[in-house]
Structure 1
């Protein structure tokens, strides 16, 4: 198996984390679910920096973002599968 470009912690997550430098738009990523070491493929729709998130499913503004099987915030803009998810379209629910 080649090296993964995206890690997903739990099957309930709707975002994964980029784990390589310089991920380019159009890259068909190898995505690994760390809960059971299963994998799948997903195409990045934008250039996405290491440590940033990628949408695993389409989400609308107001939807809950789930990572590590936990609620980590809410979308403030719509995203499609493979879109970049970060502070420009995702915010904490704390404030």
Structure 2
């Protein structure tokens, strides 16, 4: 059973479709063609609807979801880590951060 969805083959994050617990080995599915995605060991809890890193993302790297950039990493993110506002700056809201 998949625990996360990957919207596009170029994405470096997936979206949890169930709560994922630290240490749990989970697999995803590519929704473009319904093929099996990677199996990943979660290194942090990922709540339903939140993002999981599919690969290591370095600080200042672009976070890609839906095949499009959605933000930038504000610190290194490891594969299997929870990806959210604590480690990325959104492209949508980031431009107003210091105004």
TM-score normalised by L of structure 2: 0.87
Structure 2: unaligned runs, 5 residues or longer: none
Partner residue, 2:66: 68
Is 1:24–2:21 an aligned residue pair? yes
- How many equivalent pairs are there? 92
What CA RMSD, in Å, does the superposition of the two structures yield over aligned residues?
Answer: 1.0
Is 1:33–2:35 an aligned residue pair? no
Which is higher, the Rg of structure 1 or of structure 2? 2
Instruction: Provide the rounded CA distance (Å) in 2 between the counterparts of 1:84 and 1:47.
Output: 7
Structure 1: unaligned runs, 5 residues or longer: none
4+ runs deviating over 2 angstroms: none
Q: Deviation of residue 93 (structure 1)?
A: 2.6
Normalized per residue, the structure richer in helix is 2
| Post-superposition CA distance 1:11-64 (Å, at most 9, x none) | 10000001113x111111120011111113111111111111011110111100
